[in-house]
Structure 1
Amino acid sequence: MRVIKLTIYEIIFIIVCITINLFKNGMGLERLLLPLIIIILFGNLFCKSNLEIKKNREFIYAFILVFFLYMSIQGYYDYTNVSKNNYSLFKALLIQLPITMTVFAAYIFGIKIKNFNWRISLTSLLLVLLVWLSIEILPIIRYVRLNSITDLIKLIIINIPIKIYYPSLVEEVIFRGLCFSGLLAIGLSEDKSNIIQAIVFGLIHILNYEQFSINIILLIVPQIYIGYLIGKIYINTKSLTPCIILHALLDSI
């Protein structure tokens, strides 16, 4: 079995993320390292030799447009508190519809949904589940202590379809699809492309906070690190579907 190797850029990136997480966000070392170890040791088993990540310079232009639309609509709903007033599932889905539809702006550059790989195999699904459990096992244990396994299963079953609809589908297309693939197309290596898309992905979570500061940037490092891990899944599987499922699972609890 060939073990996936990390480049010097990835090692530096990981050390910085883990250090900030440990001292600023309080995430346990096991939740940071275990999913990475799983991907490094077993990710190669789930690579699809018959698939490849599409590379097209137009992806970068499409990313800029879609990202601008996405951030504008998301920012409007966040800062006007539209989504927080008279909240209901139906209203939430309606609010999320225009945000989700931003990905179709890529059609202006001739980039269609079918340009991405959407296959998922049983082995890649297993990789996703292992990575998810390695990240969320402690929160799951704490939840079960307060509630029950039945409540946990119900929570996941209810949340998964919603989280796949938004934000998982749209954010995976934007960041792992358009951004990552576009960076590859302009000549950046996989490791550098993955790090850059992870940082940009993490930065969008600044919208979750009312004020901008250096402290806020430090607080979103977990999202940056998660973006990097999902990017590694994309590199291994060459498909967006495993990324979407992992993203939705992480948001479901």
Structure 2
Amino acid sequence: MPRSNTRAPFRRHHLIIYLLFGAITFSTVAAFAWVFNVSMKTNSEFLATSPWSVAKDWSWQNYAVAWTNADIGSFFGNSVLVSVAATLLGVVLSAFAAYPIARIPFRFSGVVLALFLSGLMVPWMVTFIPLYLTLQDLGLLDTRIGLILVYATYNLPFNVFVLVGFLRTLPRELEESAAVDGAGPARAFVQVILPLLTPGLASVTIISFLNNWNEFFYALVLIHSPEKMTIPLGLFQLGQAADYGTNWVTLFAGMIIVAVPVLVLFAFLQNQITKGLTAGALKG
């Protein structure tokens, strides 16, 4: 029998939606193109010509100046260290917290999940003073370790929420079969559940990394030494230097250096994010 055509018919309102998405896409691409164009100008050319004019001679040395003289390389390394360490720690803790809530029946599982979800409703301005005082008492203020711990716990509520929803989509017969073979809960989690949890882990890992990479406020409050600052703080300093020293092209070159790796990472792994989040949304 011929295969039926299941494609939805085109309607007028679809054209409006496509035009709207096209306009958003165009404006986003145009913004990145403008930042790149400015980053390729010399400082004198940027100040003497229109902001929308095309760069006459592409000055690739702006990126080298931003990486070395403007310390973008140091900020970049700090962000990689803090973001990767905090992401791994947060995802591991989230996986071990989500598994008993979703798969092991106990009386107050709903209450425990509600406590985690309450962390999503706490505004950041309520937490930064207790965090500052706690890290100060522990001797972790103005340290990368302190910032890693803050970032790891910052993403816990969302990670647990997503992983619990994902784990509840898996059939319980998996643990029953593992128990018949003599496996306990820990062994069943590592050998049976964890391989199936890969899409959910991938989604929360990528989202946590992007959150940690772009986070500004906690880094601003908790880090004071220039050699320990992350990328958002580094760009903030470059912005101040541009305001008072008119060194704008270095700022735009630093913005491109920071944005491109994240965009490439998201472009390659966006399917994993979508798969993990949509699978976890089937059951709540």
- Tell me the TM-score normalised to structure 2 length: 0.27
Rg larger in 1 or in 2? 2
